[in-house]
Amino acid sequence: MLRKITLGLALLLALSACQDGRYAGSTRHLAPIPPATLALMSAEGASPADPILMRAYKKESEIELWKRRADGRYALLKTYPMCRWSGQLGPKTREGDRQAPEGFYAITPESMNPNSSLYLSFNLGYPNAYDRSLGRTGTHLMVHGSCSSQGCFAMTDEAISELYAVVREAFAGGQRAVQFQSYPFRMTPENLARHRADPNMAFWKNIKEGADRFEVTKAEPVVEVSGGRYVFDASGDGPTADAVARKQADDERQVTALVANGTPAVRLVYEDGGQHRAFRETMTAAGYGLGEVSRPEALAAGPREVAMPAQRPGATVGKREPVRSTAAPKLPGTGVTEAERRRLLETFAAAGDGRK
């Protein structure tokens, strides 16, 4: 009984944290979980009180909600389309860069904001231990309502109302922190092959280690930081480590085959982030029905694909190729001069290093 009272007090304190006061007194944070979502939980043999886990993908503009079943394994419950995220693919490095973060984060009861000016929100906990180890800066990185983003994940008011309720009930059931895994894209061999020359690839392959452990075990990976890297389940059992290694080796073989078959190396360049196609197809220039939409003009064309230098056969995925001086004819089929391409690549490299 004492433990339940303590948890209840902690949740009440959390619901008063991170408030801007504008909507104090609102009851929107008490909205129940919709019946259809409750039915999905029941079908998986789970209850609202059971732990949850979330995974976000920028390129696909989706957030997955996973629920832990009675056997301890997580099952995919629902996938929410993102209405807006800002910046580019790649991690957040500094305050004001408009980047939505990538990596492994923890949502706590103290992160919940029932009085958010963006309907409802919860803080991802950026910068985490990994970010701090690299001297990265930034505050108030959220998942929230509306369709406006300055480094956050915006989901519309309706979607955040549901997800907020799911998180709230998991905390009420005793979960102390919800793991939020944030990725540039789904870690498929196809995506890895296409983005193999991106300057962020070394970091992406590091967070893929955590993604692979989750895919193999369907259990929340234990996350630590050492030597400027994420370390996952450092004291894990041998059979699990072997299974993860087999998956990683198979993925690498598929990447190698895709590259050998001519999959081009590209970098996606966004005007300023993106949104799920479900919103793009229905959004007017004024964002009708979505509330405020940040920089709608930046969403109109979608990302541009920029060809990256081809790598030598057998080169390490993610290793940056040097930019060589050449004459300035236009590259076949791109309409971009070699000088322009070099300038873009230097900009990309600097952005990946956090220098610009």
Q: Tens digit of pLDDT for each residue in 323-355?
A: 332 233 333 333 444 554 455 445 434 433 433
pLDDT tens for 127-174 read: 999 999 999 999 999 999 999 999 999 999 999 999 999 999 999 999
pLDDT score of 23: 59
Residue 25 — pLDDT band, cuts 50, 70, 90? confident
Q: What is the average pLDDT across 95-119?
A: 97
pLDDT at residue 322 is higher than 90: no
Q: Please name which of 164, 166, 146 lies closest in space to residue 156, comparing C-alpha atoms.
A: 146
pLDDT score of 283: 64
Distances (CA, A) of 217 to 209, 249, 345: 12, 17, 38
Q: CB of 62 within 8 A of CB of 156?
A: no
Q: From the CA atom positions of the chain, what is the Rg in Å?
A: 21
pLDDT score of 245: 96
Task: Please return the burial class of 86, using the count of CB atoms within 10 Å of its CB with bins 0-12, 13-18 and 19+.
Answer: buried
Measure CA 58 to chain center: 6
CA distance 235 to 119: 41
Neighbours of 10 (CB within 10 A): 16
Q: What is the pTM of this model?
A: 0.81
**Identity (one letter) of the amino acid at 153?**
F
What burial letters (b/e) apply to 263-281, b meaning 16+ CB within 10 Å? Answer: bebbbbebebbbbbeebee
Measure CA 20 to chain center: 25
Tell me the catalytic residues: 144, 152
Residue 223 or residue 19, greater confidence: 223
Per-chain mean pLDDT for the chain? 84
Over pLDDT 70: what percentage of the chain? Answer: 78
pLDDT score of 186: 98
Neighbours of 82 (CB within 10 A): 27
CA distance 265 to 280: 26
Contacts of residue 128, defined as CB under 8 A and 6 or more positions apart, other chains included, come to 103, 104, 105, 106, 225
CA distance 327 to 317: 28
Point out the least confidently predicted range of 53-67, 123-137, 317-331: 317-331
pLDDT score of 344: 41
Residue 70 — pLDDT band, cuts 50, 70, 90? very high
